[in-house]
Structure 1
């Protein structure tokens, strides 16, 4: 017969823990708050799942899904930003402990423009929203986080600048450049 789960004090860290499904969950240092958290966890089994997983584990499962269901370029971009994100917050951080401040510190420290920062935060939010959809988490801890503003880049070439660019292009590439210049469409769409 298995033993009933209940909070216990770990003397080395002066923190309260409980053991659920063979894994220990930190409940904090305050006894009353620890017991409240324990009873909340026992009342809501979906919260137990989010306490047992780490952001690193979620990112790996999400990237496996992304590799199967999304284009390679999307997978590579998501992998790039999630790898940087996990390196910043650590492999052991639980989703329930993630704060918007941590995500903001991460994206502001990347040394990239606000549009790329917007993309980076959107990828982290997408991973967490996916985890909610797949029932890995009950809620997204950063669902209301405001992302950096996207900035539009407008570059206009003067006729003399365009002539200089066009002078170095050989055909048929020159015809493609003319098409892009006259229509304003993106290179991938023009291709």
Structure 2
């Protein structure tokens, strides 16, 4: 029988413990590892203390996450599962896979958010979304009771106010160092597509004859209609697959030859911001969604009607633009020119 005590794993440069035939990462230093180990064992004893004989033990965070990731995303895009994995795995690791889910309280989520002061309100809101969906799924499946975290109000989403002007776009483009990053930035600027759509685009999605990307309903955001992304000539030239490419090849890859991920794009933008700051350019910390918003701002200012913008952006309802993006075109010069044009 394997002794239940921490051991050092050279291949991962960290301390682990094996519980219930699963290896659990504790920490990189021995002192922290044994402290975390004792916390885990105390939590197990506490859970065992309140178990009624003949009834199953409370579900642990690790087991709930494993079941959620294994069966909670059937029929959903791989990127959706990856998004929840990236949000929930560090959270579960922090509190321990053996943490009893019925003991999870709203303050646990708040403490994890407070440990990351650099997070935006949107990032904090996304963590709450992920934790609440995990617990809601577990409750629907009868695995856990209804928890207080399900009724906690999430942080408000940040407003999408960053707009990149053509002049700013030209300036930042000069600081992009590799063609792979330039390609996905250009596609975002030229098409207004959602970042996750560009990252998921494969050879089989390209309708070269009509210069567009077509995602079938089961791969689109709405799930009941295709998502069509029209490409400008500049965008089409960048996205053409190489000779010998197969249908499942991704059209856009990073400099390592791998499909783009949200984290990879954020790292690329962080490096871009660092180079611009070093050069004395007062630039915002951009992300791909800023280019989608900026695309809409340009279209509206050029006189493109809202219905056409909504169709090109993939919105089902044009009122979405009015509710979410109306502040993007609050340029005094633009509004004054529109007024003068209207009154003749």
- Name the residue aligned to 2:146: 139
Confirm or deny that 1:150 pairs with 2:157: yes
- Tell me the CA shift for residue 181 of structure 1: 5.4
Contact kept, 8 Å, 2:88 with 2:130, in 1: the verdict is: yes
- Tell me the CA shift for residue 127 of structure 1: 0.6
Among candidates 77, 82, 90, match of residue 71 of structure 1: 77
**1:80/1:161 Cα in 2 relative to 1: closer, same or farther (>3 Å)?**
closer
- Tell me the CA shift for residue 91 of structure 1: 1.1
TM-score, structure 2 normalization: 0.37
C-alpha distance in structure 1 between counterparts of 2:296 and 2:234, whole Å: 13
- Name the residue aligned to 2:280: none
- Name the residue aligned to 2:48: 25
**1:182/1:103 Cα in 2 relative to 1: closer, same or farther (>3 Å)?**
same
Q: Helix, strand or coil: the match of 1:93?
A: coil
After superposition, the CA RMSD in angstroms is: 3.9
- Name the residue aligned to 1:52: 58
- Name the residue aligned to 1:109: 115
- Name the residue aligned to 1:21: none
- Tell me the CA shift for residue 94 of structure 1: 0.7
**1:141/1:162 Cα in 2 relative to 1: closer, same or farther (>3 Å)?**
closer
C-alpha distance in structure 2 between counterparts of 1:114 and 1:179, whole Å: 24
**Unpaired runs of at least 5, structure 2:** 1-41, 175-181, 191-232, 239-290, 301-308, 315-344
Contact kept, 8 Å, 2:58 with 2:101, in 1: the verdict is: no
Contact kept, 8 Å, 1:125 with 1:142, in 2: the verdict is: yes
- 1:37-90 deviation line (CA, Å, top 9, x unaligned): x7xx68xx9xx55x4310110010001113433211110010111101111111
- Name the residue aligned to 1:118: 125
**Unpaired runs of at least 5, structure 1:** 1-12, 18-23, 28-37
C-alpha distance in structure 2 between counterparts of 1:54 and 1:157, whole Å: 45
C-alpha distance in structure 1 between counterparts of 2:149 and 2:139, whole Å: 12
C-alpha distance in structure 1 between counterparts of 2:123 and 2:92, whole Å: 17
Q: Helix, strand or coil: the match of 2:142?
A: coil
Contact kept, 8 Å, 2:139 with 2:145, in 1: the verdict is: yes
C-alpha distance in structure 1 between counterparts of 2:136 and 2:89, whole Å: 18
- Name the residue aligned to 2:94: 88
Higher relative contact order at CA 8 Å, sep ≥6: structure 1 or structure 2?
A: 1
- Tell me the CA shift for residue 119 of structure 1: 0.8
Contact kept, 8 Å, 2:163 with 2:297, in 1: the verdict is: no
